[in-house]
Amino acid sequence: MKKISSLVLFLLSTVTAFGQSGQAIEMADTLRRDGKIWVVVATIAVSFAGLAIYLIRIDRKLNRLERVQKDNARH
């Protein structure tokens, strides 16, 4: 969810820059401002979000395995 929402956020931020183009062709959208540090932030944020999802999935899988084992022990 986080990955998608941050992606949407960045996409939206370029839309506003696009709409403002009048006389000068505005190329520097948000991701290129501030020495492009936002690109680094996005990269790290996305990779961390991926890792987080990975951890959550392992957690869920373990939940399922524990349930199965508990059921097996009962029968």
Binding site for another protein (CB under 8 A): 2, 37, 40-41, 44-45, 48-49, 52, 55-56, 58-59, 62-63, 65-66, 69, 72-73
What's the CA gap between 28 and 12, in Å, rounded?
Answer: 14
CB-nearer residue toward another protein: 8 or 58: 58
Least separation in angstroms between CB 31 and another protein: 13
CA 9 to each of CA 3, 13, 14, 48, 65: distance values in angstroms, whole numbers, following the listed order: 10, 6, 9, 17, 37
Q: Nearest approach, Cβ of 37 to another protein (angstroms)?
A: 6
Q: Which is nearer to another protein, 21 or 63 (CB)?
A: 63
- CB-based contact 10:42 (threshold 8 Å): yes
> For another protein, which is the closer residue by CB, 12 or 58?
58
Residue identified by tokens 């944020």 is 45
